[in-house]
Amino acid sequence: MTDINYEKYLIKEPIIQGQPDLNVQNRTFPPLIYLSSAQIPGIKYNIEFGWVWGMPQPNPYLDERVGEYDEILLNIGGDCYNPEELGADIEYSLGGRILSIDSTSAVFVPKGVRHGPLTYKEFRHPHVRISILLGTGERKINSAETPKPEREATDIDYKKYLVRKPVYEVIAGTPVKNRQEPASMTFMNRNLVPECNIYVEGGWVWGMPDPNPHIFRHVHRDFEELVLHYGTDHEHPEELGGEIEFSVGDQPLKVDKTAIVFVPKGISHGPLIWKKYSAPHLEMAIVPGAGSLAEADPGGHQEKMQKEGKD
């Protein structure tokens, strides 16, 4: 057995590129980079994270651009007890079509499609914006002219790439107190957007979970997994509000800040044991290449229920 220190796959210190700008207000700037090839060499994902806690200035704050890779944009409300309420009204342009967003939602942005600007029409309460870039660990910002858009077909209904409401299908199989149940929120999968072959789900924790653990040791033999935990304090976005022991292989890792854990395919992980709780936080599983619940099986719950003979 290869002796691997899986601590290198736990990212608790984000990269911050660029300098603070006093003209940028009411949002995390520069954004926090929680996964990139600079943090894990060779990784093919790039994840940016940030809060919005007021009407952003300047507004709009994202220009039109064209990406060389597929991207998923998540807008997640910060109220753990009303998780579908985003707390804002946003207009986002995709392929020249305006998408109106007013709830916890996700947008799949295919490579080569013009997207942006992003304009806030109304703000009500803080929320998180997360960008997941697929296929590269390095983020490059291009204008709308470079490279030229690849997908300018006027007959495409770009609204089909917006998931306005999460679905609820990831069930733990046993009731869990103090966290979102009986099912967490699935933001993106192949059923929601057929072109998007990635599973993204998340659920809120608002107290010490019981039973603890409720996510046991399991393995995804065909897929890598990215596990993100973040807290609800927009003024201190790196604070988690708890301490979790997350084992990868046979090595316990301590997650006590906003963090991402990269789990290579075929490596067992879990259990997740909450050691401390102080404030609500969200646990998110991202499984690239797995477009369905059966393929992704976050937490290994589906396999566990099948072994126990449950539907």
Q: Which residue has the higher pLDDT, 61 or 41?
A: 41
Would residue 140 count as lying in a domain? yes
Per the CB < 8 A criterion, the answer to whether 277 and 241 are in contact is yes
pLDDT tens readout for residues 121-142: 999 999 999 999 999 999 986 5
Across residues 168-175, what is the average pLDDT? 87
Q: State how far the Cα of 45 lies from the Cα of 117, in Å rounded to an integer.
A: 23
How many structural domains comprise the chain? 1
Q: What pLDDT does residue 20 have?
A: 83
Degrees to nearest 5, angle at CA 265 with 222 and 212: 110
Residue with the larger pLDDT of the pair 141 and 151 = 141
β-bridge mates for residue 119, sequence order = 91
Contact between residue 130 and residue 188 where contact means Cβ atoms under 8 Å apart: no
Range of the domain at 176: 6-307
Statement: residue 70 has pLDDT above 60: yes
b/e burial code for range 210-236 (CB count within 10 A of at least 16 → b): eebbbbeebbbeebbbbbbbbbbbbee
Encoded amino acid at 17, one letter: Q
Q: Indicate the helix (H) or strand (E) that contains 45.
A: strand 45-57
Segment holding 132, helix H or strand E: strand 127-134
Q: Please write the tens of the pLDDT for every residue from 270-289.
A: 999 999 999 999 999 999 99
Whether 217 has a pLDDT exceeding 60, the answer reads: yes
pTM (2 d.p.): 0.93
Q: What is the CATH number of the domain that holds 41?
A: 2.60.120.10
Q: Is position 1 within any domain? A: no
- Per-residue model confidence (pLDDT) at position 227: 98
Q: How many CB atoms lie within 10 A of CB 304?
A: 16
Q: What is the pLDDT of residue 145?
A: 47
Nearest to 51 by CA among 293, 201, 232, 226: 232
Give the model's confidence band at 305: pLDDT under 50 very low, under 70 low, under 90 confident, else very high: low
Q: How far is CA 100 from the centre of its chain?
A: 20
The predicted model gives 106-133 an average pLDDT of: 97
Q: Is the pLDDT of residue 96 over 50?
A: yes
Looking at the DSSP assignment, which residues form a beta bridge with residue 218? 269
Does residue 91 lie within any of the structural domains? Answer: yes
Tokens standing for residue 160 = 């089909």
Residue 250: CB partners within 8 Å, gap ≥ 6? none
